[in-house]
């Protein structure tokens, strides 16, 4: 992958993974050239297969932007930050990043659910 651009430059994912937390959600927005979509999809699928095998992985879902924009985002739910950190830092996963097309830019960020009375459960 040519570039990881933090969603929040003041707090990139490398700092986020140092925090211990339970039930984290990775949100990752990807932009790329339209000509690279199939290469991107194959690389993402290969990553997802690896992640599904890791301890603490719960689920993931990939979405494509509507229309002509070759933008994607995925979210992945993990039992704990420690589980995500181990998978994200795993040498096999890190090596897989080179399979992404050079036009791909990823903006990963980690989140936790928020309780909002009468609307959302924590």
| For residues 99-103, average pLDDT | 96
pLDDT at site 22:
87
Domains and CATH numbers, the chain: 3-111 (3.30.70.100)
Report if pTM > 0.85: yes
Q: Residue 113 in contact with residue 121, Cβ under 8 Å?
A: yes
Answer whether residue 85 shows pLDDT above 70.
yes
| Nearest alpha-carbon partner for 28 in 51, 57, 7, 1 | 7
| For residues 19-28, average pLDDT | 94
**73 pLDDT band (50/70/90 cuts)?**
very high
pLDDT at site 107:
97
pLDDT at site 3:
84
**1 pLDDT band (50/70/90 cuts)?**
low
| Nearest alpha-carbon partner for 40 in 6, 2, 13 | 2
Inter-residue long-range contacts of 44-51, CB under 8 Å, 24+ positions, other chains counted: 44/72, 44/74, 44/100, 46/96, 46/99, 47/93, 47/96, 50/87, 50/90, 50/92, 50/93, 50/96, 51/76, 51/87, 51/93
């Amino acid at each position: 992958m040519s570039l990881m651009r933090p969603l929040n430059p003041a707090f990139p994912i490398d700092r986020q993974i140092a925090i211990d937390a339970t039930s984290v959600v990775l949100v990752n927005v990807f932009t790329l050239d339209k000509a690279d979509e199939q290469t991107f999809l194959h690389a993402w699928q290969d990553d997802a297969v690896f992640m599904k095998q890791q301890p603490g992985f719960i689920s993931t879902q990939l979405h494509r932007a509507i229309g002509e924009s070759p933008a994607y985002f995925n979210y992945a739910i993990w039992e704990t930050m420690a589980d995500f950190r181990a998978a994200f830092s795993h040498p096999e996963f890190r090596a897989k990043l080179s399979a992404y097309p050079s036009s791909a830019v990823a903006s990963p960020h980690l989140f936790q659910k928020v309780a909002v009375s009468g609307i959302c459960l924590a």
